[in-house]
Amino acid sequence: MIRNKHLVGAGSLLLAAALLGACRDSVGPGNGGTIPAGAAVISTNITQDRTLYRDTVYTLRGFVKVANNATLTIQDGTRIEGDYEVLGSSLFVLRGARIRALGTRERPIVFTSSRPVGQRASGDWGGLIIVGNGVINRIPDVVLEGTGTDQTLNPPVVYSGGNNNDDNSGTLRYVRVEYAGYATAQDAELNSLTLAAVGRGTTVEYVQVLRGLDDSFEWFGGAVNGKYLVSYESGDDHFDASEGYVGLNQFMIAYQSGPVVIRPGAGSAAGDAQGIENDGCAPPAQNPQSCPQGQNSQPHTIPVFANFTLIGPGTGTGQESNAGGIGMMLRRGTGGHYINGVVARYPRAAVSLRDENTRTRVTEGDLTVRNLVLAENAIAFQPQTGTTVQFALPLEENAITEAPGTAGSLFARLPATPTGAPDFDWSPAGSSPIASGGLTAFPAALQQRVGTFIAPTPYRGAAAPGGEKWWEGWTYYAVR
């Protein structure tokens, strides 16, 4: 989550207002550019059931909301573009509404920039935001980050007050979100994929985020589960959870080679970008009372992340800031179970455990970090620095292995300068330590919690030795 970095010009929303107000459904140079044949503009809210078809390229113009309990169905192979000329153009799926994005491996659904290939950049458009009826640990009337900057064009979206972690906001399957993350104002960022109070009745699987300016995947409370999640290059955190999120996730990949290319005028990327950044409850400065028990506000953030592969940028890439460059940042009273993972090439530390309330989660049995392989990181656990409480866990006791050699030696193929998604093969190399050493039997309490959704594995990382290359055929890699 970015703080105090994006500074959008004062005229940004006024420009958006002019573009939208001129003629919301017309086509022309003053309203986002010429729309070719086989294309359509969506510039008003969707309040009745609607289907988007693969034979049409759709342009989101402004802040488009699926509302009034409507269902938006998107055919496999459909392309939806955020209008670069209307700042922050985004798709919101509000409480009670649903999205049915039903892509396939051969024909994924793509949300991307309206700019041509070769000109696209992080922050070109806003993102995909889903708001459900799940539970969060902040009160009252908590407004979604990136909304509320204009009462007419971008009114506040409240996501607190829900009470149903089984809520269903629809399905995301074989979906890519590219070049998103525009900041609507200073400290008002849109993530590539925001899941705010989304319930576990929602399906999220085979989803990739590419080169967003803010977080790739962000969960604000709720209990939505996920599988087969990929984040290639991020301007901030790859996976960010907080505010009482208790979902289950298995098979996750994050890859970072260096800073992202940012759209002109969108500000700068985060100075605290991590692989995973999870918090218990961390209220903004302007609303400190929204966490009623501070970092101990309940429900605690206790997700399960299993079989993750986190690859950092290494040294010499300009991402060794005082706040970033860490594989797993767990702080502010968060819990969670982080198992069977790989954390490699982070320039400051593989893991940072911070704050006394976070240590309390360990004592309570609600925070475990175990059966990991670490490689080519500056250090395993970040040591105490300054007045911030920081602590480590015993490596051997938690089956945490520090592997010799480079991150590249762990995998079948990890190119130094990738050019496309097929360049990656996240399967273990022949003699790689990640091919074994996984937690194969969960403790009883954890097993009861994950049920059949997460299965123990004998390997560590996001891919089985000789197993299915589940990321192939639908993911994408490009700089611009």
For tokens 């970092």, what's the residue?
295
CA 72 to chain CA centroid, Å, is 22
Weakest-pLDDT range from 139-148, 238-247, 317-326, 338-347: 317-326
Please give the model's pTM, rounded to 2 decimal places. Answer: 0.93
Q: Name the pLDDT band for 286 (thresholds 50, 70, 90).
A: confident
Query: Coil, strand or helix: which one is 295?
Result: helix
Report the candidate in 277, 324, 272 with the shortest Cα–Cα distance to residue 305: 277
Q: Which pLDDT score is estimated for 186? A: 77
Does residue 2 surpass a pLDDT of 50?
no
CB 186 within 8 A of CB 270: no
Q: DSSP character for 197?
A: S
Residue range 402-429: mean pLDDT, rounded: 96
Average pLDDT (367-384) is 97
Over the stretch 18-37, which tens digit does the pLDDT of each residue have?
Answer: 333 333 333 332 233 444 55
Taken in order of first residue, the domains within the chain and their CATH numbers are 12-450 (2.160.20)
Model confidence over 435-457: pLDDT tens digits?
Answer: 999 999 999 999 999 999 999 99
Residue 187 has pLDDT above 80, yes or no: no
Q: How confident is the model at residue 11 (pLDDT cuts 50, 70, 90)?
A: very low
Contacts of 395 (CB under 8 A, 6+ apart): 380, 401, 402
Q: Which residue has the higher pLDDT, 74 or 187?
A: 74
Taking a C-beta distance cutoff of 8 angstroms, is the pair 20, 89 a contact? no
Q: Is residue 73 predicted with pLDDT exceeding 90?
A: yes
Instruction: Say which range, 87-91, 121-125, 283-287, has the weakest mean pLDDT.
Output: 283-287
- Sorted by sequence, the CB contacts under 8 Å of residue 413 that are 6+ apart come out as 423, 424, 425
Predicted confidence at residue 319, as pLDDT, reads 60
Predicted confidence at residue 32, as pLDDT, reads 35
Determine the pLDDT at residue 308.
Answer: 99
What is the pLDDT averaged over residues 262-275? 84
- Mean pLDDT for the chain overall: 91
Q: Which of 57-61, 166-170, 180-184 has the lowest mean pLDDT?
A: 180-184
51: CB partners within 8 A, 6+ apart: 72, 73, 74, 75
